[in-house]
């Protein structure tokens, strides 16, 4: 890979990761993105970056974003349901929107 193209691709990926780090909502998402950033830095240090490596790092980044969306969809308790407990009492329960969760699961699986 040419040096100028490598610099462009890696700096673009680093900018995207930095932006995602600022927008990340969970510590696990931030940890995954920081680990990916460290992997990029270590490969740059040893000058072992090929086009294949850049493509794989981009895929890993997209996978991190899809996984964060899936976690957010699972954790978003924005749908209210009326349920009956063990004693027969009715109460409201906040649950994740199943449509959003299934869409996020599909998007994650598509990235794999």
pLDDT at 81: 86
Give the residue ranges of the chain where pLDDT is below 50.
none
Distances 33 to 37, 88, 93 between C-alpha atoms, Å: 6, 46, 33
What's the confidence (pLDDT) of residue 2? 60
- Position 5 scores a pLDDT of 81
pTM of the predicted model over 0.85: no
Helix (H, G, I), strand (E, B), or coil: what is residue 92? Answer: strand
| Contact (Cβ atoms closer than 8 angstroms) between residue 32 and residue 67 | yes
């Amino acid at each position: 890979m040419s040096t100028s193209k490598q610099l462009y691709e890696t700096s673009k990926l680093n900018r995207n990761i930095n932006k995602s780090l600022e927008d990340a909502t969970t510590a696990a998402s931030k940890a995954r993105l920081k680990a990916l950033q460290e992997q990029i830095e270590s490969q740059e240090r040893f000058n072992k970056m090929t086009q294949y490596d850049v493509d794989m790092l981009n895929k890993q980044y997209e996978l991190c974003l899809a996984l964060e969306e899936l976690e957010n969809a699972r954790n978003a308790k924005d749908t209210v349901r009326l349920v009956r407990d063990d004693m027969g009492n009715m109460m409201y329960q906040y649950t994740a929107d199943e449509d959003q969760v299934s869409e996020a699961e599909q998007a994650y699986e598509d990235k794999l």
